[in-house]
Amino acid sequence: MLLDFSKLDVNSIYKLISNTVTPRPIAWISTEHHGITNLAPFSYFIPLSSEPPMLIVSIGKKDDDSPKDTLANFLKGSKVTISFVHKELKDVMSQSATSLSYEESEFETFGISGQKILPDYPMMVKASKAAFFCSFVKTMPIEGSETTPCLLLVEHAYYCDDVIDPSLHVKMDNVGRVGSKFLVNGEIIS
């Protein structure tokens, strides 16, 4: 089957891309504003470059067309912490996707334990086995897009001792996204 994307609606294109480029890891992103730490999962997330170490995450809008809290915090200068999601965190990560007011913290609302690893970065999810600490570089708007791609520079990384060896080989069972399903090591878990 050959499909011409110029003749498809945006929902069909999203479904095709999100079910083909798989598994996409979940970027569970924490940002800060006025002492409040927001936490939200994003599945349009990929590594972009090793030199410099760059990632890209695409962030949609709220129902009222305003920027999601994560993007609003990026634009206000918040540092960025990305916690990686393993199977045991899947359900609470899904809960944290619930839309809350800007003044509510997902950490507090959903009882997610956090830990501060570096003083200048938002806390990470304590139970996560790895996290990247990043700076927001810039948005890369795409005309007509419902999402805003954001470029992030990875400045530090944290790993639990049991997922990294002295040669820096990392072995993790991150949850990935396949359409509306979650996947770990090729196995659909919900």
Q: Is 113 a domain residue? A: yes
Domain membership of residue 185 (yes or no) is no
**Rg of the chain taking only CA atoms, in angstroms:** 17
At residue 33, what is the residue type? H
Q: pLDDT (tens digit, 9 = 90+) per residue, 116-126?
A: 999 999 999 99
pLDDT in tens, 25-80: 889 999 999 999 999 999 888 888 888 888 899 998 888 888 899 999 999 999 99
Residue 138 has pLDDT above 70, yes or no: yes
Cα 81 to chain centroid, rounded: 9
What is the distance between the terminal CA atoms of the chain, rounded to a whole angstrom? 28
Q: How far apart are CA 83 and CA 158, in angstroms?
A: 9
Residue 15 lies in a domain: no
**How many domains would you assign to the chain?**
1
Which contacts of 139-145 are long-range, i.e. CB under 8 A and separated by 24 or more positions? 139/71, 139/74, 139/75, 140/56
**What's the domain range around 128?**
26-175
Pair 131, 81: CB distance under 8 Å: yes
**CA–CA distance, 119 with 73 (Å, rounded to integer):** 17
